[in-house]
Structure 1
Amino acid sequence: MPIPIHDPHQAPGGALKRLPLRKAAAWFIVAVGLCLLGLLYLQLEQSRRQDLAVAQVASSNLTRAMAQQAEDTFLAADLVMTSLVDWIQNDGYGAAQRPRLQQTFARRVQQLNQLHGIFLFDTQGQWVITSFTDLPRGNGVADREYFKYHQQNASTLAHIGPAIRSRENGEWIIPISKRVNDRAGRFQGVLLSGIKMSYFDHFFESFSLDDNGIMFIGFTNGTLLARRPFDESLIGTSLAQGQIYRELLPEASAGTAMINSVVDGVERLYGYRRLASYPLVVAAATSKDTILEGWYARAVQSSVIVALVTLGVGLFGWVFIHQVRDGERIEKNLRKAQQALEQIATHDSLTGLANRRLFERSLEIEFARGARQVSPVSLIMLDIDFFKRYNDAYGHVAGDHCLTQVAQVLMTCCQRKADLAVRYGGEEFAVLLPNTDINGALAIAGQIRRSVIDKHITHSGSPTGYLTVSLGCYSFIPSGNDSPEVFIQRADAALYQAKNAGRNRAAVFSPESDVAELMRSDR
């Protein structure tokens, strides 16, 4: 019997059907590879963006902390000089006053770590009194920028000048100065406080930056004031042509941007912020390579994983879980750091109370809520009676402890979560009371006043022999177009009414009071 050409039990074209299956498998492997490459690309791009976003948040928080520190540093010196200028303008700086002034200068320098020294110059720029024991010798400071500025400008505001070398000992300092007038307003000299450049160097060193990272403080006109790493040749140079000054600051007073440095050409992520009280700008930058250093490592690792995925899905899954765990831990640590920086930016470091930045933000929120709900908002402004006498009698360390005790009283008396206790400035505090009328505010004010008395803090400069506070209360129902400044001014006016009435009491704002006269009274 002839052998059939085709097996009747074999489907015709079987060999032809196996070929497309092999191609399908090959195409499937190629497709899986392409999908893995696509997923790898998406993962790496997302990771890169996340690293950059985290770095932007950290950079923004860092510059916020730098700005707060710089403001506090210069403000402390400014306040010291303001009190000294008032003293000198009232009593002069004749031979009889000089020994006491010299001792006061020296004591103030000891109390503020940032101060190199305090110097008083006459109308010719010659040294009159310094915080040092011996007066320097030389031709004086008539050629200095700050001296010429005050000669030519009648402004009594503090002036921050370019960094200079002290003619006392050659140390780099940042001069902050004020004009001294006689009783008729004529120029009588210059009072200068020198801020140590090394003080900012130590502050900069407290932050962890890579080898290519930088931090600097400069004037708003671009002149470099202080820098990390310190380079003497760069101090005083202009950064005005840099992108921060040329493009970013005119648009926003704070922000972040990836920029090529005009100094060394390194690409860095910059965070920058203009100070609110002084003509200064702070910035911190981390090199892009450092920010993405971990990302580069993850990219290589993920690529190896994709190459080996065909050898074991289990190994790939384990590495992926490991990567996720690392990312969660990093994110958790960054979140804690962000919360810590937020606490620094919104609270007073001495008392733990809210600072003015948080106070102003809360005012906006409570004004809007009060307008929506037609509910009153109250404010208590309080001031420690005869606090300058307290500092003079017991010293600034005891004064700081006194401020802390008063702050504890405020926190104890503010029972509701919405109530906000604020250190408004110096020895002045504020309490914001949402949904509280004037009677409720007076009740809280009375509780605060009695609680301070119950502390039995000895105060030899007070008529009562103990520390007391004066309080001013104001309450109103917001309408939606209200001015926070007027709100604060009226509570402050009530505070002056309380002081004018004899202190150690609470007063309610009265428009008929002669506020101008009260503000001239001794606080």
Structure 2
Amino acid sequence: EAMFNIISVVDERGEIVSSSQATGRVNYADRDFFRLQRERRTDALFVSPPVLGRVSGRWQVPMSLRITRADGSFAGVVVMSVDPGNFTAFYSEADLGAQGLLELTGLDGVVRGRKIGQESRFGMDAIRLPWFQQQATQARGAFVDDGQEIDGVARVLGYRRMDGYPLLVTVGTAVEDALAPVRQRHTRYRVWMSGISVLLLVLVGVSLRRR
């Protein structure tokens, strides 16, 4: 499956002049991915909050690059639209556990994509999330979160702002899942110790009977 659902070239008026799909007449002059690039003087990638696509009729995360003429004036944008689920499609339950969390959030506080276990969501407000608040003063970090702002599941979390992009990546493993291997080892040790204890008792019993 292609990473981008649709790729379009949009002129300085917001009209689509070329696209990977048939679009009809569509104007994007009011969209953030167009307006912000028109106002900028750089070629930085802009990753929009999720919007309902005017061509596809599906929720998309548009990403745009400014087209600049030789004289520096604005000539339009190239816009590439991504299904929000694609941001977390590489999630692996084996890596993060059944209650693992993977999240991509804009520094504007809007979640571009979040996956917990097998459930995917997007478009939520991240302003109150502890890791989003912490990234304002620390670009990367790790801590144990009680999960009260999401689903009540305590997780070991790590987050990092992406260099060169206004995005925050957060990955988390449920504390229960993280401790499971340790608890399994402890269980094996207890079984082993119990076995040794029983063996010692048997040996002591045999020794006493021989006296």
Shared fold by TM > 0.5?
A: yes
Q: Is the 8 A contact 2:61 2:82 kept in 1?
A: yes
For the pair 1:150 / 2:37, whether they are aligned, the reply is yes
Are residues 119 and 211 of structure 1, via their aligned partners in 2, closer, same or farther at CA, if it must alter by over 3 Å?
Answer: same
SS in structure 2 at match of 1:236 = coil
Length-normalised TM-score, structure 1: 0.34
How much does 1:181 deviate?
3.4
How far apart, in 1, do the equivalents of 2:104 and 2:18 lie? 30
How much does 1:145 deviate?
1.4
Q: Deviations over 1:31-75 (max 9, x none)?
A: xxxxxxxxxxxxxxxxxxxxxxxxxxxxxxxxxxxxxxxxxxxxx
Determine what percentage of the aligned residue pairs are the same residue.
23
Aligned residue for 2:131?
244
How far apart, in 1, do the equivalents of 2:201 and 2:161 lie? 52
Paired amino acid for 2:72: G
The correspondence of residues 75-94 of structure 1 with structure 2, limited to 5 A, is none
Paired amino acid for 1:191: V
Aligned residue for 1:436?
none
SS in structure 2 at match of 1:292 = helix
How much does 1:207 deviate?
5.7
Moved more, 305-314 or 123-132: 305-314
For the pair 1:175 / 2:41, whether they are aligned, the reply is no
Aligned residue for 1:122?
11
How far apart, in 1, do the equivalents of 2:101 and 2:157 lie? 9
How far apart, in 1, do the equivalents of 2:198 and 2:5 lie? 67
Q: Deviations over 1:161-215 (max 9, x none)?
A: 1122332223443222122234433333222122343433432248633221111
Aligned residue for 1:48?
none
User: If each structure's helix is expressed as a fraction of its own residues, which one has the higher value?
Assistant: 1
SS in structure 1 at match of 2:96 = coil
Which of 255, 262, 273 pairs up with 2:141?
A: 255
For the pair 1:184 / 2:184, whether they are aligned, the reply is no
Q: Is the 8 A contact 1:118 1:194 kept in 2?
A: yes
SS in structure 2 at match of 1:115 = coil
Are residues 207 and 136 of structure 1, via their aligned partners in 2, closer, same or farther at CA, if it must alter by over 3 Å?
Answer: farther
How far apart, in 2, do the equivalents of 1:310 and 1:198 lie? 53
Are residues 303 and 205 of structure 1, via their aligned partners in 2, closer, same or farther at CA, if it must alter by over 3 Å?
Answer: closer
Q: Is the 8 A contact 1:129 1:135 kept in 2?
A: no
Bigger Rg, which one = 1
How much does 1:287 deviate?
0.5
Aligned residue for 1:106?
none
Give structure 2 stretches of 5+ with no counterpart: 203-211
How much does 1:306 deviate?
5.3
Q: Deviations over 1:347-371 (max 9, x none)?
A: xxxxxxxxxxxxxxxxxxxxxxxxx
How far apart, in 1, do the equivalents of 2:108 and 2:23 lie? 34
Aligned residue for 1:136?
24
User: If each structure's strand is expressed as a fraction of its own residues, which one has the higher value?
Assistant: 2
How far apart, in 2, do the equivalents of 1:136 and 1:191 lie? 17
For the pair 1:212 / 2:99, whether they are aligned, the reply is yes
